[in-house]
Amino acid sequence: MTSSAPLDHAAHAAARAALIDGPGPLGRPRRRALARLTDDWLAALLAESGAPGAGVALVAVGGYGRGELSPRSDLDVLLLHDGPLAPDLPERIWYPVWDAGARLDHAVRTPAEARAVAAADLKAQLGLLDARHLAGDQALTAALRSAVLTDWRASAPARLPELRELSRERAERHGELSFLLEPDLKEARGGLRDLVVLDAIAASWLADAPRDGLDAAALRLADVRDALHLATGRATERLSLQDQDQVAERLGVLDADALLRQVYEAARTIAYAGDVTWRAVDRVLAARTRPSTVRRGFAFARRGTGAVTRGAVERGAVERRPLAEGVVEQDGEAVLAQGARPAADPVLPLRAAAAAAQNGLTVSYATVRRLAAECRPLPVPWPDEAREQLVTLLGAGEAAVPVWEAMEAEGLITRLLPDWERVRCRPQRNAVHRWTVDRHLVETAVRAAAMTRRVARPDLLLVAALLHDLGKGWPGDHSEAGEVIVRDVAVRMGFPPEDVAVLAVLVRRHLTLIDTATRRDPDDPATVEAVTKVIGTLPELELLHALTEADALATGPAAWSAWRASLVDGLVTRVAAQLAGGAGETAQAPPTAEQERLAVEAARTGEPALSLRAQAEGARPGTEPMGVELNLAVPDRPGLLGTAAGVLALHRLAVRSAGLRELDPIGAGPVLLLAWRVATEYGELPEASRLRADLRRALDGSLDVARRLAERDAAAPRRKGIPTPPPLVAVAPAVASATATVLEVRAHDAPGLLHRIGRALDDAGVRVRTAHVSTLGAEAVDSFYLTDERGLPLTPQRAGEVASAVRAALG
Q: Which helix (H) or strand (E) holds 211?
A: none
Query: ω into residue 381 within 30 of 0, thus cis?
Result: yes
Residue 626 has pLDDT above 80, yes or no: no
Using only the alpha carbons of the chain, give its radius of gyration.
33
Q: What is the pLDDT of residue 298?
A: 35
What is the predicted pLDDT for the residue at 581?
60
The three-class DSSP label of residue 570 is helix
Q: Which of 578-587, 679-688, 711-720 has the lowest mean pLDDT?
A: 578-587
The answer, yes or no, to whether residue 620 has pLDDT greater than 60, is no
Q: Which of 59-68, 378-387, 422-431 has the lowest mean pLDDT?
A: 422-431
Give residue-wise pLDDT tens across range 115-138. Answer: 999 999 999 999 999 999 999 999
d(C-alpha 266, C-alpha 717), whole Å: 42
In 3-state terms, what secondary structure has residue 781? Answer: strand
Residue 743 CA to residue 803 CA, distance in Å, equals 7
Which residue, 773, 176, 196, 139, is CA-closest to 456? Answer: 773
For 555, 748, 781, the CA distances from 458, given in Å and listed in that order, are 21, 11, 9
Higher-confidence position of 397 and 668: 397
CA 126/CA 128 separation, integer angstroms: 5
CA distance 659 to 784: 10
pLDDT at 318: 63
Of the listed ranges 174-178, 251-255, 614-618, the least confidently predicted one is 614-618
Select the more confidently predicted residue: 627 or 320. 320
pLDDT tens per residue across span 333-369: 999 999 999 999 999 999 999 999 999 999 999 999 9
Q: What is the pLDDT of residue 789?
A: 87
Give the CA count within 13 Å in the CB-facing half-sphere of 648: 35
Q: What is the mean pLDDT of residues 734-747?
A: 86
List pLDDT tens digits, range 189-205: 999 999 999 999 999 99
Contact yes or no for 126/152 (Cβ under 8 A)? no
Per residue in 343-374, is it b (16+ CB within 10 Å) or e — as a string? eebbbbbbbbbbbbbbbbbbbbbbbbbbbbeb
Question: How far is residue 125's CA from residue 122's CA, in Å, rounded to a whole number?
Answer: 5
Q: Is the pLDDT of residue 109 over 70?
A: yes
**Segment of 27-31, 98-102, 587-591 carrying the highest mean pLDDT:** 27-31
Give CA–CA dist 29/282, Å, rounded.
37
Tell whether the model's pLDDT for residue 218 goes beyond 70: yes
Q: At what angle do helices 753-763 and 640-650 cross, to 10 degrees?
A: 160
Evaluate if residue 228 carries a pLDDT over 60.
Answer: yes
**Nearest alpha carbon to residue 759 among 641, 662, 652:** 641
Q: pTM of the prediction? A: 0.88
